[in-house]
């Protein structure tokens, strides 16, 4: 992914000429990447808290060891599915954001071309 981003902003693409300052672009992508990592960590933390809550509920209920084991397996599977869905939603949001940035860059380039043609 890093290579793709590097190719997008270093290739001789006239649509990206208004954004030739790569330092601001790299800061933007660094911010996006850090935000993505933080959201990933928050999701993992939420899963651990949820599992702790479930385990404390199981301890207060007086079930047999087999029932607790089956419940933990089921809860673990549900949590993994929830985490996968959350991670996929974050990935989709990141992809949509990237598409919006590309659209804005193309639009600014078209505006610059129209201004040049008027002159």
Determine, yes or no, domain membership for 40. Answer: yes
Dihedral sign, Cα of residue 40, residue 45, residue 51, residue 54: negative
The answer to whether residue 73 sits within a structural domain is yes
CA distances from 97 to 2, 6, 69, 100 (A): 16, 17, 42, 5
Residue 64 dihedral angles phi and psi, to the nearest 5°: -75, 165
Count of domains forming the chain: 1
Q: Buried b / exposed e across 62-72, counting CB within 10 Å, b at 16+?
A: eeeeeeeeebe
The verdict on residue 98 lying in a domain is: yes
Answer whether residue 84 is part of any domain: yes
Asked whether residue 5 is domain-assigned, the answer is no
Q: What is the pTM of this model?
A: 0.32
The per-residue pLDDT for range 63-116, each reduced to its tens digit, is 566 676 677 777 777 777 777 777 777 766 777 777 788 888 888 878 777 777
Domain span holding position 59: 20-118
């Amino acid at each position: 992914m890093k290579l793709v981003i590097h190719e997008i902003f270093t290739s001789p693409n006239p649509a990206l000429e208004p954004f030739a300052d790569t330092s601001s672009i790299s800061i933007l992508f660094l911010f996006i990447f850090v935000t993505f990592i933080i959201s990933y960590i928050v999701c993992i933390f939420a899963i651990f808290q949820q599992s702790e809550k479930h385990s404390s509920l199981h301890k207060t209920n007086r079930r047999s060891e087999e029932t607790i084991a089956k419940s933990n397996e089921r809860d673990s599977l549900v949590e993994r599915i929830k985490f996968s869905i959350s991670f996929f939603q974050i990935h989709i949001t990141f992809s949509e954001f990237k598409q919006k940035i590309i659209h804005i860059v193309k639009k600014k380039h078209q505006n610059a071309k129209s201004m040049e043609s008027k002159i």
